[in-house]
Amino acid sequence: MVCKVINFLKSFIRLMKLHKFLYIYLVNTFLPVAFYHNCLLYYLYLPVLPKCFFYSAN
């Protein structure tokens, strides 16, 4: 089970590196959700930290 999750995350990260626009879209879509519903999930998006202040301000 854990191995499946790790393999999925690896392939997901690889996919995101290939599809920067998809990555940006997903971040813009799920960052507010992650921030409001689970602060720990939010920390996965540290590379886009400036958006943190944008979403928390609104």
The pLDDT of residue 58 = 47
The pLDDT of residue 3 = 79
Give φ, ψ of 19 to 5 degrees.
Answer: -120, 80
Structure tokens belonging to residue 27:
């971040």
The pLDDT of residue 16 = 65
pLDDT in tens, 23-51: 777 777 776 665 665 555 556 665 555 55
As a three-state string, the secondary structure of 15-26 is HHHHCHHHHHHH
Report the pLDDT averaged over residues 18-27: 72
Eight-state DSSP code of residue 1? -
Q: Calculate the average pLDDT of the chain.
A: 67
